[in-house]
Amino acid sequence: MRLEQSEFEKIREKIYDYCGINLHEGKQALVRARVMKRIRKLGLSGFPQYLNYLQKDKSGREFLSLVDVLTTNKTSFFRESQHFDFIRDNVIPAMKGRRVKWWSAGCSTGEEPVSCAIALLEQKVSSRNVKILGTDLSRQVLQVAKKSIYSAKNMENISPSLKKKYFQKVDEGWYAVDDEIRQMITYGRLNLKTSWPLKGPFHVIMCRNVMIYFNRRTQQELVSRFCDILEPGGYLFLGHSESVAGANRGFKNIRPAVYQKI
């Protein structure tokens, strides 16, 4: 089943206009493979018929399904562990027992906010003192995050002691997150390109391995908005292949991919 250049351009433009994700030329094979899943599920003949179906669907449901299949949601517990070392050694001690808000922007299936909650509890921070917001564009991954049940394969980065302490075995090879952690986290769907109905300020924002999907202009706009909603002295964590270069007014770089609001 062939994806014509003009068809790829239409999909690319729709996604960029909606959420700022930049599907460059190198993503054509990925787009073809993932959209074919929708074509098969709907019983359509090919990309021309699918684009026509997408155009005629006034409910917008199919477009959201397209967004779901085209967003990449790779994640794991305690991913980029140096960040969690920094949180343990620097961020948590500076909180000094006060109440704060954390935001996992691009939380995927929830491993990142759960890892943050575990890091906080391991340092004796009261679960009542931290509210963690997890947001993502994909409805599918948020369903998994809200259920907070993970397979044994997902748990490979969790030590046996932490697994015993913060998870309960619910079935063979499946583990549910402890209620105390679940109560610390609120999940919601958010398009980072649109307005944010969020109440700040936040002490920590983690937006790791998300901005690589945006062009430079969108990245700079996003960093500026993060700066606005962070408290003075608050922290922004990016993925290790990302930076705020060109848009770092208001931030100082204190570790690789760790920025503090001035």
pLDDT value of residue 72: 73
**Please, what is the average pLDDT of the chain?**
93
pLDDT value of residue 14: 95
Each residue's pLDDT tens digit, 41-75: 999 999 999 999 999 999 999 999 999 999 877 89
Which position among 12, 38, 136, 208 bears the catalytic label?
136
Distance of CA 256 to the CA centre of its chain: 19
Each residue's pLDDT tens digit, 182-230: 999 999 999 999 999 998 899 999 999 998 889 888 999 999 999 999 9
Active site residue 34: yes
Compute the distance between CA of residue 49 and CA of residue 222 in angstroms, rounded to an integer: 35
Q: Which runs of consecutive H residues, i.e. helices, occur in the chain?
A: 5-19, 28-42, 47-56, 61-70, 81-86, 92-95, 111-122, 139-147, 160-166, 179-184, 216-229
Compute the distance between CA of residue 31 and CA of residue 33 in angstroms, rounded to an integer: 6
pLDDT value of residue 86: 97
204: three-class secondary structure by DSSP: strand
Q: Residue 143: how many CA atoms within 13 Å on its side-chain side?
A: 4
Walk me through the domains of the chain, giving residue ranges and CATH numbers. 5-70 (1.10.155.10), 81-261 (3.40.50.150)
Of 45, 49, 47, nearest to 31 by C-alpha is 47
Which position among 34, 79, 88, 182 bears the catalytic label?
34
Each residue's pLDDT tens digit, 99-137: 999 999 999 999 999 999 999 999 999 999 999 999 999
